[in-house]
């Protein structure tokens, strides 16, 4: 996903449309140990010349396979990223993290897309397929409970009032 400034200058009056698919599976696996797989990344949007700068409006979508934080089963995590990135010709024009320096008058979107994806990967994902019938993890002196199980146990722990003394509760 590289374009030279000469190519983009032909589209000075209208945005240069992007609709690409890129396979970044190996890069994502190498840079994040939790990534078990990835679908091809779809990059859509446009590149627009603004003076000597190039503004990229990007819509990035796809899915990653990540481990469930509770059970370690594979979870397909879909993502959609909207971003506006600016490519500048000189270091003096860099203003913040959404500005990128062009190398040899070339706009290269691949490193930008890789960075956006790595930042979006969540620290934990949970599988929706975990039901009450499956055995939850447990160990010596601890066990993992669902919220429903916890609420039921707390309801059973509440002290029961002797029916002979129930009338006294009205006085307080």
**CATH code for position 74:** 3.30.450
pLDDT, residue 133, reads 47
Residue 152 belongs to some domain of the structure? no
Cut 0.85: pTM above it: no
Range of the domain at 106: 2-120
Inside any domain, residue 135: no
150 part of a folded domain:
no
Helices (H), 12-146: 25-31, 110-120
Q: How many domains does the chain have?
A: 1
User: Widest CA span of the chain, in angstroms?
Assistant: 92
Task: Give the E-state strand segments of the chain in sequence order.
Answer: 2-4, 16-22, 37-38, 41-50, 53-67, 74-88, 99-101, 106-108, 138-139, 142-143
Strands 138-139 and 142-143: antiparallel
Domain assignment present for residue 8? The answer is yes
Report if residue 45 sits inside a domain. yes
pLDDT tens per residue across span 92-134: 666 666 677 777 777 888 888 888 898 988 888 888 775 544 6
Q: Could you tell me if residue 52 is inside a domain?
A: yes
**pLDDT tens, 52-96?**
788 888 999 999 999 988 778 888 999 999 988 888 877 666 666
């Amino acid at each position: 996903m590289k374009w030279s400034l000469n190519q983009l200058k032909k589209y000075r009056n209208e945005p240069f449309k992007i609709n690409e698919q890129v396979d970044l599976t190996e890069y994502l696996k190498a840079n994040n140990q939790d990534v078990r797989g990835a679908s091809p990344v779809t990059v859509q949007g446009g590149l627009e010349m603004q003076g000597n700068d190039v503004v990229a409006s990007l819509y990035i979508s796809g899915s990653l396979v990540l481990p469930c934080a509770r059970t370690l089963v594979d979870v397909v995590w879909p993502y959609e990223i909207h971003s506006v990135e600016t490519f500048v010709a000189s270091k003096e024009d860099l203003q913040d993290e959404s500005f990128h320096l062009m190398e040899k008058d070339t706009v290269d979107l691949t490193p930008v897309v890789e960075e956006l994806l790595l930042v979006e990967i969540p620290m934990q994902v949970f599988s929706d397929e975990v039901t009450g019938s499956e055995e939850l993890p447990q160990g010596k002196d601890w066990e993992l409970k669902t919220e429903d199980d916890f609420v039921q146990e707390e309801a059973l722990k509440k002290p029961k009032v002797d029916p002979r003394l129930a009338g006294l509760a009205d006085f307080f």
